[in-house]
Amino acid sequence: MTDVRNPQVPDADGPVRPSVCAGRWYPADAASLSAEIDGLLAGAAPVPLADQLLALIVPHAGYRFSAPVAAAAYRTLPGRTYRRVIILAFSHRYAGTYRGVDVPRELVAYETPLGRVPIDRDVCNALLRKSVFSSNQRIDRDEHSLELQLPFLQKTLGGFRLVPLLVGGAEGTSSRDFTEAAAALLPWVDEHTLLVASSDFTHYGPNYGYVPFTGDVRRSLEDLADEAAAPLLRCDYDGFIDHLRKTGDTICGRWPICLMLRLLAMRGGAVGIRTAFDTSGNILGDWSNSVTYQSFVFTRRPRRLSDVERTEALRLARDAITAYLNGRQPPAHDDDRLPPALRADGACFVTLQNRGELRGCIGNMVALGPLHEAIIENAISACQDYRFLQNPVTSRELNELHIEISYLTPMQRVSRIDEIVIGRHGLLVALGDRRGVLLPQVAYERGWLREEFLAQTCRKAGLPPDAWKQPACEIYSFEAEVFGEPETPQTNPPVRHETGGQ
């Protein structure tokens, strides 16, 4: 753990947001606060993580109630290094009065009894140039949903820069708002950035105007919490929205969660793990009114190919393209020396781009032989993409071409569209003799919702956008492990794809 005092901005040159929660929501004394968090972290069960940690969802009630649940998620942070933390919180008083995201315009730090946390002014200033972000000092006045996360972060991470965001949910707020905000944030979310969404879950009882059941309240709240958790574990924005619409679940931080899910989807999705659950009803022994607390951690989706296998796959594609564009046969290679995954049967797409412009994308949906053969054949075919017959790829572009490979899982027939998760699945739509394919990254880079993805895949097949609703229409999903060559000044790979394949 970090030291009790962590004065990261001892002499801040600008306004500092003072603590408004110390002495009320958590201890005001630094030593007492530090000791309490140390005890909570020590008492939390360890959560083994299989891959890179991307994000957390944590509650924000007074520490007496929700801190043990929050600690279960924060326990995964010690030993990890993040230069930046983006906290997605909201204003309990004003969230329903504004759309978009509030960003502090002049603040240079937040203060807690453990010291000052510096604000990443470069990021905040850049966001304020986007229309979906604005600044209003009153929004954060006396608000606790963001501040309550800071002592845990100070204790588990130490030095980092903060991007404090308060997400609004006024009437008219839509998925487009979250898509625009996520797209603006995306350039700032890298492997050294942690996302934290602040939210309690169901607020049950007459005091909260939400009494969907009266019998066996404890069990019913657990069931409702499981329903809310299910789409979060899949990192499924559409599923989470469906849950809110179906149940009216009073999840106070639903807007921060929505924005976080859009961001994770635009990064290719994630895997969620629920780290803890409790309710104030259980804590107080009174179920007439109760607030549910849940915490989650999100990791990168597991890879099927190692770094060595990815590097070798890209080398095969690069060598094949170089030989083809120079009028030669692909160089011979010893199959037995290739990694086992490349010798096994596999399907893939190969995408070529030149300074952000698509130059070809060809692939096979079903494994027709060893993966290494598919990579070589599709790399050469991508140079001959029929869409660019009038302007084909040439050898003069070799140094500017950026190669990306999408390694596909076997296709699965979709029986219900709620099985489709943006950020994870690609689609194949078939009706009659028409077939259309879009890779997963086409949907998640554009921030599409599920039905828009289906409509665009139908258009790709030359079908009406609502053809997916026809009983005779067959829908298949698949996953893709997407990886590309390192970025260089010559290639400048884009962040958006213009196609999903042939």
* Prediction pTM value: 0.90
Which of 272-276, 356-360, 485-489 has the lowest average pLDDT? 485-489
Residues above pLDDT 70, as percent of the chain: 95
Q: What pLDDT, on a 0 to 100 scale, did the predictor assign at position 261?
A: 97
pLDDT for residue 473: 97
Give the relative orientation of helices 237-247 and 175-185 as an angle to the nearest 10 degrees.
150
pLDDT digits (tens, 9 = 90+) for 339-350: 999 999 999 999
Rounded distance, CA 442 to CA 429, Å? Answer: 15
In this prediction, residue 490 has a pLDDT band, given cuts at 50, 70 and 90, of: low
- β-bridge pairing 290-299 and 347-354: unpaired
- Give every CB contact of residue 403 below 8 A, 6+ residues apart in sequence: 314, 317, 318, 321, 350, 351, 352, 379, 484, 485
Is pLDDT above 50 for 6? no
Q: What is the largest CA-CA distance in the chain?
A: 78
State the average pLDDT over residues 438-452: 92
Look at residue 22 and tell me whether its pLDDT is greater than 80: yes
Instruction: For residues 20-45, give the mean pLDDT.
Output: 96
Distance CA 361, CA 208 (A): 53
Per-residue pLDDT for 212 more than 90? yes
Task: Write down all domains in the chain, each with its CATH number in brackets.
Answer: 16-299 (3.40.830.10), 307-484 (3.30.1490.150)
- pLDDT classification of 12: cutoffs 50, 70, 90: low
pLDDT at residue number 334: 85
Q: Is the pLDDT of residue 9 over 80?
A: no
CB 141 within 8 A of CB 121: no
Q: What is the pLDDT of residues 62-116, one digit of tens each?
A: 999 999 999 999 999 999 999 999 999 999 999 889 999 999 999 999 999 999 9
- Phi, psi values for residue 140, rounded to 5°: -95, 0
pLDDT given at position 501: 47
State yes or no: pLDDT of 198 exceeds 90: yes
pLDDT: which is higher, 489 or 324: 324
Mean pLDDT, range 306-319, rounded to an integer: 96
Residue 448 tokens, joined: 């599409």
Residue 336 is predicted with a pLDDT of 86
Radius of gyration of the chain (CA): 25
Mean pLDDT of all residues in 461-485 = 96
Residue 13 is predicted with a pLDDT of 79
Kindly tell me if the per-residue pLDDT of 494 is higher than 80. Answer: no
Q: What is the pLDDT of residue 496?
A: 47
What's the mean pLDDT when you consider all of the chain?
Answer: 93
Confidence of residue 50 (pLDDT cuts 50, 70, 90): confident
| 50 compared with 249, residue with greater pLDDT | 249
Strands (E) across 225-268 are located at none
CA–CA separation, 482 and 361 (whole Å)? 13
20 pLDDT band, cuts 50/70/90, is very high
Is 90 exceeded by the pLDDT of residue 245? Answer: yes
Q: Is pLDDT of 2 > 50?
A: no
Q: Which tens digits make up the pLDDT trace of 354-375?
A: 998 999 999 999 999 999 999 9
CA 102 to chain centre: 20
**Which of 83, 86, 90, 30 is CA-nearest to residue 60?**
90
Q: Estimate to the nearest angstrom the gap between the alpha carbon of 164 and the chain centroid.
A: 18
Specify the range with the lowest mean pLDDT, choosing from 69-78, 159-168, 440-449, 460-469: 440-449
**Nearest of 188, 320, 342 to residue 266 by alpha carbon:** 188
Model confidence band, residue 51 (pLDDT cutoffs 50, 70, 90): confident
Helix, strand or coil for residue 360?
A: strand
